[in-house]
Amino acid sequence: MGVQAPNGVELSPAAKMYLCADRLVQPAGMYFGYPTPTGVKVDNRTLSKGIVLVTIQSLEETGLIQVWQEQRKQLLGSFTSVMVRALYSGAPGFSGSFLVSTGWQDESLVTMLTRLFPRDQAPFIPFLDSVSSEFVEAGMLTRGGYGAHGNVWDPQWLGYLHEALYPEAYDLWMRAHARPDAEVIKHNTMLAVGIRQHTERDDDD
Amino acid sequence: MLYEREPPRVHIAVADAVMRAGEPGDNAMTATLLHLAQCGLLTLRPCERIVTSIFGSEKRDSHEFVVDTSRWQEFDPLDQELVSLLFTTMKHSAAMSLLDLRVLLRSRERTYASGIAAWRTSVAARAVADGLLEPTGRGRTAAGEVVRDTCEALRAYIRDFGRLEDDELMALELWGPYLVWAALFGLAEEVVATMRLKAMDYHDDLMLAVETIAS
């Protein structure tokens, strides 16, 4: 019998990584730290890139996407982009959003990720928050932000899923990082974040 | 001054709408939840939650309302609407801790505001359908005036006698059932403050719920 999530919600591989992030990603300090459900802060860049990798790996394994690489022109130079073709719909949570971000045509990963990363001073954080929305749907998380109120988790579900999902999460995490195109995917992710990141230049006012 | 010990036989939020000759006020939601808790349609029980913030995570004690979904048909349609808003639309769960509720009322303020506005409209519509408010939803009918008078007399009774220094257990026995109405009248804190010395856990829990929602 598989691992059951509350409300019968099917969690995406991204959500599983999010939940087990404290055991998959190295801890980080205040600047790049993202508070995982257990309270340990992990490197938000590594976690985000890992989530993209894992999503591509799982969708490819289940035959929902095809992936290849292309050279794309950018200003005077060029870069290698991963191209994605969505073959079927119907993936849960973040995986579904990932499929939708193709616009149902052959699309470069960079363009897809610019649709998934919000325009923000620190796009990694709202991106990771959007992954956690699956737990809100499952009724085990009440989001209050990172200030005084915090995010309220149901400790029983959190404890159970954190343990039960870890073997699967670890296995998928390792396979995804062993992909031959893993570095290209990570590079594409950082390019997309660079496009979506903006700076509040309040000293110009 | 006239006193009344018997609450009117109308939904507690409808009674508030009649008293205000329009839509119910802020206390109506609190009173409705407490009423459901007293009927056993909601259970109020201690629970734990993990709160994660930029400072790390910590385990906190709280209390949670749990909907008895097996008795869903026993809920008044107004109660179903309120419970659906809070538990289904906002929390996505049949169990909601007071910590969750406090966070939700702030983080999903617009959803809550629009949902509670719709609920208030439904309450006023029920008052009209029951012949307690005029068809315009403003102004009381003759039957509505009777309900208003009963509520005012009940409020006076709770206000004037809710501080009786009876034997505390006796006070609890006597005043427990009135807590829901005391919450509607904004008197719950006074009544419970009097009883708190030896009040049973359940009423302390109810008071905690009142304070949380009111805050």
pLDDT per position as a tens digit, A70-110: 998 877 788 899 999 999 999 999 999 999 999 999 999 99
Chain A residues in contact with B104 (beta carbon < 8 A): 142
Q: Which of A152, A157, A158 has the most B C-beta neighbours within 10 Å, making it the best mutation to test the interface with B?
A: A152
By the CB < 8 Å criterion, does A8 face chain B? no
**Domain boundaries, position A103:** 11-189
Nearest to B49 among A30, A40, A154 (CB): A154
Residue B198: the pLDDT is 42
Q: Is the pLDDT of residue B207 over 80?
A: no
> With 0-12 CB in 10 A as exposed, 13-18 as middle and 19+ as buried, what is B7?
middle
Residue A197 lies in a domain: no
Residue A194 lies in a domain: no
Weakest-pLDDT range from A84-88, B36-40, B81-85:
B36-40
Question: A with B: how many residue pairs have Cβ under 8 Å apart?
Answer: 85
CA closest to B92 among chain A residues: A139
Task: Supply the mean pLDDT for chain A.
Answer: 92
Residue A112 lies in a domain: yes
pLDDT digit string, tens, across residues B151-161: 999 988 888 87
> How many domains would you assign to chain A?
1
Nearest to A142 among B54, B56, B103 (CB): B103
Residue A70: the pLDDT is 93
Q: How far is B199 from chain A (nearest CA, A)?
A: 29
Beta strands in chain B (DSSP E): 42-53, 56-67, 95-97
Q: Are A83 and A108 in contact (CB under 8 A)?
A: yes
* Reported pTM: 0.82
Residue A200 lies in a domain: no
Q: Which of A31, A128, A142 has the most B C-beta neighbours within 10 Å, making it the best mutation to test the interface with B?
A: A142
Q: Angle between the B188-195 and B168-175 helix axes, to the nearest 10 degrees?
A: 150
Residue A40 lies in a domain: yes
Residue A77 lies in a domain: yes
Q: Is the pLDDT of residue B150 over 60?
A: yes
Chain B residues in contact with A93 (beta carbon < 8 A): none
B143: Cβ contacts below 8 Å, ≥ 6 apart: B130, B131, B132
| B52 with A154: Cβ contact below 8 A | no
Residue A2 lies in a domain: no
Chain A residues in contact with B94 (beta carbon < 8 A): 139
Residue A4 lies in a domain: no
Task: Supply the mean pLDDT for chain B.
Answer: 83
